[in-house]
Amino acid sequence: MFFRAENMLTFATCFYFKTLTRMKVAVVGATGLVGTVMLKVLAERKLPISELLLVASERSVGKEIVFEEKSYKIIGLEEAVSLRPDIAIFSAGGETSLAWAPKFADVGTTVIDNSSAWRMDPTKKLIVPEVNAHELTHEDKIIANPNCSTIQMIMALAPLHRKYGIKRIVVSTYQSITGTGVKAVRQLENEFEGKKGEMAYPYPIHKNALPQCDVFEENGYTKEEMKLVRETKKILNDHTVSVTATAIRVPVVGGHSESINVQLGKPFEVSDIRKLLHETEGVTVQDNPATNVYPMPIYAQDKDDVFVGRIRKDETVENGLNMWVVADNLRKGAATNAIQIAEYLIAKKLVNASFLAKA
């Protein structure tokens, strides 16, 4: 019988999970938009959790959240550190992570952080599991989850870089309001209903497109655009790749979309690109212009794969390629990627040995 490689990995991982005796997991930022999705993904992927700690800011302490038909009380950061979880998955903002991730690491917890706090720290790994999880070791106690728009782009481009080499990337992103958070979702809902309310953006987002994601840096690019530049080079471990980006916020809920133009280092055939991407774990090719098949965020929502279509040669430059890449930014762009890192750590026995002692 024929098995795809990722199915064999999933089987092996599930078998390994069954041998675990206990694991204590903390979700920091459990009440936020990404935190809520993290709990959903944790339930779906059946991590071997014997004790779950739901952590949030002081104003949420004492509130209750239901997870898999069981009610959990929100606890504060101090208490969570004292309970020494084996893994802590952070989605509570950069300042919280900078202040608290080292405290968790000091008590032996492995932290997987979804903020931008540690991504460009040269002492921390920036991980997309399908691309560079092999870099992780037992010594990595704070692991950075890349930016959502970077993750989906890297998923599509890493296999091309391995086979052909990439010289230059020009990317324009069309990013969901969910990347900004609950406040932005409310702004869109209020504007759709004709209500006045708190503004997440300096302009209306309903029936609009804002050419600004995050704040502007001195070079005229936004922080979001420079994340795509800097994080791509770090994950690919290749600083010779040229990257330029424009990030746009659009009134979409389902996920982020990206128009990507790539100049490869070697000649290629479009059919070979499609085949390579089709064989890439975590990537789904949707590319049949004759029947109007291409990725769209409305269909990517609540899915973990990265969807690639509109694959075609750029006839204006040597070895040029265009593609359209879509993914749910709250799942593969955030929660799912973080939890996949946790799965890899567990499978490779790279987390705190206390809960693996009887495995």
Please name the residue that has the structure tokens 């008590």.
Answer: 107
The Cα–Cα gap between 206 and 261 comes to 28
* Statement: residue 15 has pLDDT above 50: no
**β partners of residue 314:** 320
How big, in percent rounded to 5, are the helix, strand and coil portions of the chain?
Answer: 40, 25, 40
Q: Which CATH number fits domain 149-329: 3.40.50.2300, 3.30.360.10, 3.30.1330.10, 3.90.1300.10?
A: 3.30.360.10
- The CATH superfamily of 5-145+334-355 is NAD(P)-binding Rossmann-like Domain (3.40.50.720)
353 pLDDT band (50/70/90 cuts)? low
CA 186 to chain CA mean position, Å: 23
**β partners of residue 75:** 55
| Active-site amino acid positions | 148, 256
Parse the chain into domains and list their residue ranges.
5-145+334-355, 149-329
Q: How many CB atoms within 10 Å of residue 61?
A: 14
User: Mean pLDDT across the stretch 289-298?
Assistant: 98
* Statement: residue 190 has pLDDT above 70: yes
Residue (of 155, 101, 147, 166) closest to 129 by Cα position: 155
Question: Which pLDDT tens digit goes with each residue over 55-78?
Answer: 999 999 999 999 999 999 999 999
Per-residue pLDDT at 354 = 52
Residue (of 270, 341, 331, 335) closest to 297 by Cα position: 331
The Cα–Cα gap between 353 and 358 comes to 9
User: Mean pLDDT across the stretch 199-204?
Assistant: 97
Instruction: Give this prediction's pTM.
Output: 0.92
Nearest 5°: phi and psi at 23? -155, 130
**β partners of residue 25:** 52, 87
The Cα–Cα gap between 115 and 165 comes to 29
User: Mean pLDDT across the stretch 298-312?
Assistant: 98
